[in-house]
Amino acid sequence: MVQAFSSESRKIYTLQFRLSNNPEDNISKAKDLVNNIEDESIVLLPEMWFCGYDYDNLDKLADLSPSLIDMLCEISLRKQSIISFTVPFKDGNRIFNRAFLLEEGKIVGYRDKIKLFPLIKEHEYISPGEGNFTFNTKAGKIGILICFELRFTELVKELKDEKIDILLIPAQWGKARREHLLIFSRARAMELQCYVAVANVWGKHLGEEFAGYSGIYSPSGEILSLSEKGDTLLSAYFNKREIEKARKYLPLYV
């Protein structure tokens, strides 16, 4: 019998790895890492995790996304876990940078990236989303900000109004701005008084160098797990009592 997911205390994982120019290598690497998680966990993959911003092949890569979503749904079901990630996704005649949230093999919902990154001309190839949605799961209420969106206080305010328990940040954050990633990630944890998980890539890919610095932060802003570089599966414990404790000690939701 499959045990029900408990919201009391579970593992949060974030994946960090260097992207290859070969999507199959990235798929294999991510699959190996995800298969090492404990059952009934919460897992975050980096932004555009299997391909990066390969604009020349974006249309073909988007055709792969449905089968990869099915693959991760299978793992989510087998592990009785929550898995989140973004992929290039075709919707009609447009392509979105779409974040999915899976729970126990089912798609809970999705959210398209709203704030597209101008330095890599994301807006010329990818359509912006419209809704800053949150998702109710057995682990609690989850919000997602995709990379560049971490900078926008209006999006953070919307998530605060929703009183989320976990903020997931799939990213391809550049190394030149790595301190910004560290500061914003920790600040958002303290501001929202929730757990924050960041899954970034590291190393060079398609002419860009990425920061790494994936991490997991507590509702009080404590660094629970952090990695500057390297292919790794970071983990920390999520416990809703810690959220309640932080909000009771410093009441920001009044």
Q: How far out from the chain centre does Cα 238 lie? A: 15
Three-state SS at 132 = coil
Q: What is the b/e burial string over 111-143, where b = at least 16 CB atoms within 10 angstroms of the residue's CB?
A: bbbbbbbeebebeebbbebeebbbbebebbebb
Q: What's the CATH code of the domain at 217?
A: 3.60.110.10
Please report how the helices 23-34 and 58-79 are oriented relative to each other, as an axis angle in degrees rounded to 10: 10
Q: Which residues, other chains included, contact 41 with Cβ-Cβ below 8 Å and sequence gap of 6+?
A: 10, 11, 12, 13, 79, 81, 82
| Residue 120: inside a domain | yes
Mode of pairing for the β-strands spanning 232-239 and 9-16: antiparallel
**What's phi and psi for 88, nearest 5 deg?**
-70, 125
| Residue 173: inside a domain | yes
Residue 92: the pLDDT is 94
| Residue 6: inside a domain | no
Mean pLDDT of each 10-residue bin along the chain, 254 residues long: 53 97 97 94 98 97 98 97 98 97 98 97 97 97 98 98 98 97 98 98 96 97 96 96 95 82
| Residue 5: inside a domain | no
Where in the sequence is the domain holding 194, given as residue range(s)? 11-249
| Residue 254: inside a domain | no
Beta bridge partners of 97: 88
Q: Which residues, other chains included, contact 231 with Cβ-Cβ below 8 Å and sequence gap of 6+?
A: 16, 17, 18, 29, 33
Q: How many domains does the chain have?
A: 1
Rounded Cα–Cα distance for residues 88 and 97 (Å): 5
Beta bridge partners of 9: 239
Residue 253: the pLDDT is 77
What is the torsional sign of CA 40, 41, 47, 48? negative
pTM: 0.95
